[in-house]
């Protein structure tokens, strides 16, 4: 009799465990769907809803009804992402300067009257405004005929290691970019697009001498990890996690890193002979940072300065 | 009248010179867009842009001309004429709302000061119906296209003449709103109207050649072979938005009406040639 009771009891317990797990899954799915719906409405409120977001939410609801909770969560998250992309797209369009006068319009129309000359970056581009430490800075090219490359960058002999010549590709799927692309991304970052960040990987002494306006200083040695991929000291891990979560938009929960909302980073250091930004990129990939969200400005400060582009002291 | 017009032109000229960098008037916008297309397609005669991609797509033009010999929208015109002439239940007709009808397409869209909104022909037709106790027609498909086709046909040869009334801030705001809509990238593919119909007009998107924004409003409603029916301008807007994977807006809602106001203004001085036939 007693054995029977115990058996019955454990059976009931097992049953309720399964039931509880199912409840938990259902709640997770419902919460994901709710989040997706909020995200969709958020996008719609600024006229930025995408075509399929609503349909994906419908599919998620259908999957939930059939008890396919994992599928429902996956679909709902997709819809949530679409909602946030649509919202950001609409906002970035609303805040875009010259929205209704794109360069192709006047470029094609007033041919001959484009007065490219001194101080121009491209025939159509004289400068862009970016925000550096809360202040607007215009990046343009110097018109000073006597301007020379600063002394810190004017010599060519450098010891390797550490100052070895870098390859054109630093890692798979990481785009190597030049000044015009950096300018485009700086413009986005300065016009309210929080999904992009241009990172100066050099140490503070270097940044003090001048950096790219609109860039954020995150010294390379704060992101480096040792060969085991761990830090000897906990406080260093804390600093790294802080940078990842506060600066790069990585979500950290229960010791796990979620890179889905991580920013697109443009990393640079002193030049094509400088290993710091490339090392940071490799480290970030090791940590799970999506490679397609990493861009490498290989030319760095050396290239920036030799083109006479504006720099700023922090 | 003429003197007044010249004076106005001079004044707008002065104003626009003084303010070029700060503010572009609708007329500046239209001139800039016209210049853009003239520069881009130096061998296309201006009125030809009203024929859409057939202004520069030679192969497409051949089949289009063949289609126009027995126009697929003819039935719609006939049915539309019957609608125009058939009295409402209260004995009145469309003519009682539109005394100058049926050749009235050139009067739309216009700024309706009283209702403080852009009045399109489709909206005006439905307001007329409702004022006479009739049910409004649907704005994308169906019989609204018949009456629109008839009015368009009767208005052929008239010139597009959209006016932004002087000093009316509401009208200008609606125009500016439509202009912003036109240049705003949207949808998963991140395209604006202008991406295709200005920047890439004449280029191919998959198998199709993109039509120019200039002269784009003159041929509606349009029989599209893809639809197998005549459809409204706002149905076409809906299709464009869907193709860039954006959620379309409501037909005859504020967004599309303001877009129509801007887009039609860009085609000022173009002859109306609706209903049209397209792929």
Average pLDDT by consecutive 10-residue portion of chain A (314 residues)? Answer: 58 62 90 96 96 97 96 96 95 90 69 54 87 91 90 91 94 95 92 92 94 95 67 73 92 89 96 94 93 96 96 90
Nearest residue to B162 via CA among B272, B67, B238 = B272
The mean pLDDT of chain B is 93
As a whole number, mean pLDDT of residues B109-129 equals 98
**pLDDT confidence tier of residue B24, bands split at 50, 70 and 90:** confident
Helix (H/G/I), strand (E/B), else coil: A58: helix
A83 touches chain B (CB under 8 A): no
Q: What does the pLDDT read at residue B102?
A: 97
Asked if residues B221 and B231 have their Cβ atoms less than 8 Å apart, the reply is yes
Domains along chain B with CATH numbers: 26-69+163-278 (1.10.760.10), 74-154 (1.10.760.10)
Between A192 and B129, the higher pLDDT residue: B129
Distance from CA of B200 to the nearest CA of A (A): 10
Strands (E), B83-220: 110-112, 117-119, 204-205, 208-209
pLDDT exceeds cutoff 70 at B113: yes
CA atoms within 13 A on the CB side of A35: 18
Task: Tell if the CB–CB gap between A102 and B245 is shorter than 8 Å.
Answer: no
Distance from CA of A287 to the nearest CA of B (A): 29
Residues of B in contact with A109 (CB under 8 A): 32-33, 35-36, 39
Q: Least CB-CB distance to B242: which of A51, A93, A106?
A: A51
Give the lowest-confidence range in A54-68, A133-147, B5-19, B259-273. B5-19
Task: Tell if the CB–CB gap between B185 and A105 is shorter than 8 Å.
Answer: no
Which of A39, A99, A100 is most worth mutating to test chain B (most B CB atoms within 10 A of its CB)?
A: A100
Task: Tell if the CB–CB gap between B199 and A100 is shorter than 8 Å.
Answer: no
Burial B265-278 (b: 16+ CB within 10 A, else e): bbbbebbbbbbbbb
Q: What does the pLDDT read at residue A108?
A: 40
- Strands B110-112 and B117-119 come out as antiparallel
pLDDT exceeds cutoff 50 at B13: no
Residues of A in contact with B186 (CB under 8 A): 47-48, 86, 89-90, 93
Q: Closest residue of A to B176, CA-based?
A: A100
A115 touches chain B (CB under 8 A): no
Residue whose structure tokens are 């390379």:
A220
Cα angle for residues B155, B223, B226 (degrees, 5° grid) = 160
Q: What does the pLDDT read at residue A6?
A: 58
Q: What does the pLDDT read at residue A234?
A: 66
Token digits for A105? 């319009």
**Count of residues making up chain B:** 279
B246 touches chain A (CB under 8 A): yes
Per-domain boundaries in chain A = 2-94, 127-306
Between B85 and A102, the higher pLDDT residue: B85
Q: What does the pLDDT read at residue A14?
A: 55
pLDDT exceeds cutoff 50 at B12: no
List pLDDT tens digits, range B146-188: 999 999 999 999 999 999 999 999 999 999 999 999 999 999 9
**Third-level CATH fold of A127-306:** Oxidized Rhodanese; domain 1 (3.40.250)
Active site residues of B: 240
Token digits for B220? 């509606």
């Amino acid at each position: 009799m007693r054995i029977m009771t115990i058996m019955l009891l454990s059976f009931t317990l097992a049953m309720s465990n399964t039931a509880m797990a199912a409840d938990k899954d259902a709640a997770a799915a419902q919460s994901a769907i709710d989040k997706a719906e909020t995200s969709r409405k958020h996008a719609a409120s600024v006229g930025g809803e995408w075509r399929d977001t609503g349909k994906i939410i419908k599919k998620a609801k259908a999957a939930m009804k059939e008890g396919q909770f994992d599928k429902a969560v996956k679909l709902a998250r997709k819809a949530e992402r679409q909602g946030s992309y649509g919202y950001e797209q609409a906002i970035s369009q609303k805040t875009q300067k010259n929205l209704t006068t794109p360069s192709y319009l006047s470029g094609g129309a007033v041919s001959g009257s484009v007065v490219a000359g001194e101080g121009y970056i491209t025939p159509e581009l004289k400068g862009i405004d970016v925000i550096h430490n809360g202040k607007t800075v215009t990046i343009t090219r110097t018109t000073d005929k006597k301007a020379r490359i600063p002394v810190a960058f004017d010599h060519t002999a450098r010891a390797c290691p550490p100052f070895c010549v870098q390859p054109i590709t630093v890692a798979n799927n990481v785009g190597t970019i030049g000044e015009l692309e950096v300018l485009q991304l700086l413009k986005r970052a300065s016009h309210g697009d929080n999904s992009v960040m241009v990172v100066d990987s050099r140490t503070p002494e270097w940044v003090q001498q001048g950096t790219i306006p609109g860039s954020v200083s995150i010294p390379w040695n704060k992101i480096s990890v040792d060969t085991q991929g761990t830090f000897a000291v906990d406080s260093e891990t804390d600093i790294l996690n802080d940078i990842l979560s506060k600066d790069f938009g990585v979500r950290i929960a229960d010791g796990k890193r979620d890179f889905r909302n991580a920013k697109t980073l443009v990393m640079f250091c002193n030049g094509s002979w400088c290993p710091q930004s490339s090392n940071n990129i490799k480290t970030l990939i090791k940590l799970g940072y999506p490679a397609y969200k990493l861009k490498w400005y290989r030319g760095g400060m050396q290239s920036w300065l030799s083109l006479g582009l504006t720099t700023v002291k922090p | 009248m003429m003197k007044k017009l010249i004076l106005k032109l001079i004044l707008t000229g002065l104003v626009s010179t003084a303010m070029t960098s700060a503010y572009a008037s609708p007329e500046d916008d239209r001139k800039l867009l016209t210049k853009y297309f003239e520069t881009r397609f130096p061998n296309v005669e201006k009125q030809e842009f009203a024929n859409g991609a057939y202004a520069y797509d030679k192969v497409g033009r051949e089949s289009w001309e063949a289609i126009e010999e027995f126009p697929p929208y003819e039935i719609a015109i006939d049915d539309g004429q019957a609608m125009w002439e058939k009295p409402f239940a209260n004995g009145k007709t469309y003519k009682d709302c539109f005394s100058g009808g049926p050749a009235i397409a050139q009067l739309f869209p216009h700024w309706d000061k009283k209702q403080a909104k852009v009045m399109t022909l489709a909206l005006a037709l439905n307001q007329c119906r409702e004022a006479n106790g009739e049910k409004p027609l649907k704005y994308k498909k169906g019989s609204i296209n018949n009456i629109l086709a008839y009015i368009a046909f009767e208005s052929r040869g008239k010139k597009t003449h959209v006016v932004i009334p002087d000093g009316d801030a509401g009208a200008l705001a609606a125009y500016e709103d439509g202009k912003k809509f036109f240049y705003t990238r949207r949808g998963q593919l991140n395209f604006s109207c202008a991406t295709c119909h200005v920047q890439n007009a004449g280029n191919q998107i998959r198998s199709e050649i993109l039509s120019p924004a200039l002269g784009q409003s003159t041929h509606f409603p349009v029989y599209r072979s893809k639809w197998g029916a005549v459809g409204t301008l706002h149905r076409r807007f809906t299709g464009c938005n869907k193709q860039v994977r954006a959620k379309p807006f409501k037909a005859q809602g504020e967004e599309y009406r303001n877009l129509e106001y801007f887009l039609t203004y860009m085609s000022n001085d173009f002859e109306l040639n609706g209903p049209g036939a397209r792929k």
